[in-house]
Amino acid sequence: MSENDANKPQGRKPTLPPGAAKPTLPPGAGKKPTLPPGAGKAPTLPPGMKKPGGPAMPPGMPPAGPGGDGAPSRADFASDQDVRWCPGCGDYAILATVQRLMPELGVPRENVVFISGIGCSSRFPYYMNTYGMHSIHGRAPTIATGIKTSRPDLDVWMITGDGDSLSIGGNHIIHIMRRNVDLQIIMFNNQIYGLTKGQYSPTSEVGKITKSTPFGSIDHPFNPIALVLGADASFAARTMDRDPKHMKEILRQAHDFNGTGFVEVYQNCNIFNDGAFFSFTEKATKSDKAIFFEHGQPLVYADGKKGLRLNGFHLEAIDLEGGNWGVDDCLVYDETSLELATILARVYWHDELPQPFGVFYRQARPTYDEQVGRQVQAVIERSGKGSLADLLAEGDTWVVG
């Protein structure tokens, strides 16, 4: 993944004249209604269930649905900006999947915000016909937290990369996890710095030869899922750019979750790290090298020929065709178990076991923005709304002559 030269024509041409500002959405757009007390997105929602009490469409727009005239579509969420990623970059698949998902969520565009940091992935807000902000390196969690806390009615998405979030942004990413802000995070993991032209990143494997590690990286890489679980994430999942159906469902579940929905996406950088995940994503090897797990289902892969069982605290592969083992011997996954999530997350670049994809962990707990709102309301009820002028004038003051 790398920044494309400005003179290379890519994607759709912008329709705005050079230098013109992108038009703002009309003022007075409807707000996303708040849910009734106690309502929320349950931690064990079945796949595809939408958030209860979802917002209505803007006045005059028919409800979304197949065949409905005026129903929102992917095109409604695609901006008029020239998509400037390298041809063949996995970012295109992620963008297309998000744009296809958005109309199905029932959230009006004017109530959606995309926040990004720095990197190729962080161009994302330009390509979404919603509100958004291309912020600064590693600090997207801070800005996203502020927006969601001050405007809990908004549907906030955070876009980041492995370098942006796990290097300079490492401190910020762990704190948004423990706070459990009600927003979605999509982390594009391509195990390389693409925008700055191919240096090793915090997720690059040991021995990786790059421009900044010409003799091979000696750094032990971060495991993003294990990292966020260690930071008390309440929702952690993994998907891949080359399986848009799976990606769309995982992103839907992250959105439906009441809390920080963290999704790691294995994303191919065909310029600086081409093929990093091909053993998991390509048809010839995918069934043997990747396992797609679900809550309450046995861990089975390779078209039902193999499975995973728990031997003590370790997963081991078993042959389901030889007669010694059956599906009943396989571990039935429980996404509410932090212990199982941690064990499964540690299956990372393991030669003998398939790479896991799905929802590793889901735990219901109060969100940061909800708690801040309740605290502020309690103070107002006790002390009144007050005024900014009184606040500035209270205590010790002085006059500068």
Could you write out the DSSP letters of every residue in 48-97?
A: TPPPTTPPPPPTTPPPPSTT-TT---GGGGB-SS---B-TT-THHHHHHH
Query: Residue 393's pLDDT is what?
Result: 83
Q: Which residues pair with 308 in a beta bridge?
A: 317
Residues sharing a CB contact under 8 Å with residue 74, sequence separation 6 or more, in sequence order: 96, 99, 100, 102, 103
* 211-224 average pLDDT score: 92
Three-state DSSP at 174 gives helix
Residues 332-347, mean pLDDT to the nearest whole number = 96
Q: Which of 28-42, 252-266, 327-341 has the lowest mean pLDDT?
A: 28-42
What is the Cα–Cα distance from 190 to 172, expressed in whole angstroms?
A: 20
- The length of the chain in residues reads 401
Whether pLDDT at 330 is above 60: yes
Contacts of 67 (CB under 8 A, 6+ apart): none
Q: What number is the average pLDDT over the span 248-262?
A: 98
Q: pLDDT > 90: what percent of the chain?
A: 69
Residue 55 has pLDDT above 90, yes or no: no
Looking at every residue in the chain, the average pLDDT score rounds to 85
Please give the Cα distance from 273 to 203 (Å, whole number): 12
- In the chain, DSSP finds a helix count (H) and a strand count (E) of 11, 11
pLDDT at residue 207, as a whole number: 86
Give the mean model confidence (pLDDT) for residues 342-346.
95
The residue ranges of DSSP E strands in 205-346, in sequence order, are 235-240, 261-266, 290-292, 300-301, 306-311, 314-319
Q: What is the pLDDT of residue 49?
A: 41
Q: Cα separations (Å) of 211 from 122, 138, 208, 262, 274?
A: 22, 22, 10, 30, 15
pLDDT band at 83 (very low <50, low <70, confident <90, very high): very high
CB neighbour class for 351 (10 Å; exposed up to 12, middle 13-18, buried from 19): exposed
Model pLDDT, residue 57: 38
Residue 8 reports pLDDT greater than 90 = no
pLDDT band, residue 195 (cuts 50/70/90): confident
14 pLDDT above the threshold of 60: no
Provide the whole-model pTM: 0.81
Residue pair 150/228 in contact by the 8 Å Cβ criterion: no
The CA dihedral of 145, 146, 150, 153, to the nearest 10 degrees, is -40
Average pLDDT over residues 86-94: 96
- Read off the pLDDT of each residue in 187-199 and give the average, rounded to a whole number: 90
Q: Does 41 score more than 70 pLDDT?
A: no
Q: Which helix (H) or strand (E) is 115 found in, with range?
A: strand 112-116
In order, the DSSP letters of 126-173 are GGBSSEEEE--TT-HHHHHHHHHHH-TTSEEEEEEEHHIIIIITHHHH
Residue 69's pLDDT is 52
Asked if pLDDT for residue 68 goes beyond 50, the answer is no
Burial 12-30 (b: 16+ CB within 10 A, else e): eeeeeeeeeeeeeeeeeee
Output 66 or 388, whichever has higher pLDDT: 388
Phi, psi dihedrals of residue 286, rounded to the nearest 5°: -60, -45
pLDDT at site 373: 95
Indicate whether 390 pLDDT > 90: no
| CA–CA distance, 317 with 343 (Å, rounded to integer) | 14
Work out the average pLDDT over 36-54. 41
Between 14-18, 53-57, 281-285, 300-304, the lowest mean confidence (pLDDT) is in: 53-57
Q: What residue has token string 């992917």?
A: 74
pLDDT above 50 (res 379): yes
Which two three-digit tokens encode residue 244? 């848009």
pLDDT of residue 46 exceeding 50: no
Spatial separation of the C-alpha atoms in residues 38 and 123, rounded to whole Å: 37
Place of tokens 């809390």: 259
pLDDT in the model for residue 218: 92
- pLDDT score for 400: 86
Model confidence at 357: pLDDT above 90? yes
Domains and CATH numbers, the chain: 74-276 (3.40.50.970)
Euclidean distance between CA atoms 66 and 51, whole angstroms: 19
Spell 158-182 as b/e; 16+ CB within 10 A means b. Answer: bbbbbbbbbbbbbebbbebbebbbb
